[in-house]
Chains A and B, each alone.
Chain A
Amino acid sequence: MNGSLDCPKCRAPLTEAQVNQERLTPCPACGTELLAEVFPALFRPIAAGQDGERLLVESEASCFYHPEKKAVRPCEGCGRFLCALCDCELHGEHFCPTCLEVGKKKGKIKRLENERTLYDSVALALAVYPMLIFYFTIVTAPMALFIAVRYWNAPRSIVHRTRWRLVLAVVIAVLQLVGWAALIYYFTTLKRRHG
């Protein structure tokens, strides 16, 4: 996509008068004020993909996925030999397509992880929101407690995040359960006393 640099509003190509300027400058076509900063990667040619060299000598190592092609390096995940076509480079590390897929699915390759569930927020929401209609807490408090305990060690947000939500969820859920237990005890003893 090393095409020209365009105005985001009218798609007119930007000239050098609009690029890497200190101040916002108007687009030559639509007049929108903009500031564009370009970096050397814009002018870097896109490297062509490789399809792997054919195996010429029988004794040479061949690719695990393409036995007729010459192996260029082993996969860093499973150790299988890979040809240039199967070699997927990920910021200095080399993986086969299978390891890349598995690593992404299981979250083994952190750089490929693109989604996380925030169990601490789920537990806290389950503990707090049902308090608006108190009766729901008899069901949601055990659920919040279960989620907090079950996912205590689960990865939280990728950026630093402490366990305070989980702790708070546990405290609130336990208090709700204690409250329900006290209420049930009170009514059962009251009923017994009055026959």
Chain B
Amino acid sequence: MAEHEYQRLTRSKSRSLFGIVSISRSSLWVGRDHLLTIDTNGYNETYKRFYFRDIQAVILRKTTVWLVSLIVLAGCAAVCGSIAVFGGALNGVPVVSWVFGIIAACFVLAALLDLAGGPTCKFQLRTAVQTEDLSAISRVRRARKVIARLRPLLSEAQGTLTPEEIPARLRELQSARP
């Protein structure tokens, strides 16, 4: 079997909060000497390449989006669940209970999936000329896996820094700041 030029790092992720309705998606791929982000709207793809030798830093910042969405989903599940339990009993129409019960189950499932995904994050990749937000990475767990995958590739392209070197170099960088 022919070897593919790119290997997938992340699945296609929605680029906006409204993932279900949005068709613009982003995914991350690793090539021989670069990282490739693909932004697609379904009919057109836009590519951005980040060469291993140019990547200066990756920064992930934990966000509270997963907690907010968890609370919203749990709230919706609770509302629909209560309508299913009390609404059906009050009206005496079992269809109401069934419909709202199914909707509540969907919300519970979505909340569980959100919980299983773990904390959310913003992932930034920095080069000498830009800082790019990679929307394809939205969970801390996935971000850690991506960093672990990139580390040896970047070390091969750029060499390594010893733990003792980093503080001194960072201080140099801070002092050179205008």
Contact = CB atoms under 8 A, between A and B. Distances in A.
Interface of A: 1-5, 7-9, 13-16, 19-20, 24, 32-43, 46, 91, 111, 113-118, 121-122, 125, 157-160
Contacts of A159: 4-6, 8, 29, 36, 38
Interface stretch (B78-86, B92-100, B107-115, B161-169): B161-169
B166 A13 contact: no
A116 B46 CA distance: 7
Main secondary structure of the interface of B (DSSP, over half): mixed
A16 to B, nearest CB: 4
A5 B172 CA distance: 12
A37 B152 CA distance: 13
Given A33-B62, A39-B154, A159-B29, 9 more contacts: A35-B59, A36-B58, A37-B147, A38-B166, A41-B127, A42-B56, A118-B44, A125-B43, A157-B38
A118 B43 contact: yes
Interface of B: 4-6, 8, 29, 33, 36, 38, 40, 42-49, 51, 53-62, 122, 124, 126-131, 140, 143-144, 147, 151, 154-155, 158-161, 163, 166-167, 169-174, 176-177
Contacts of B4: 159-160
A147 to B, nearest CB: 11
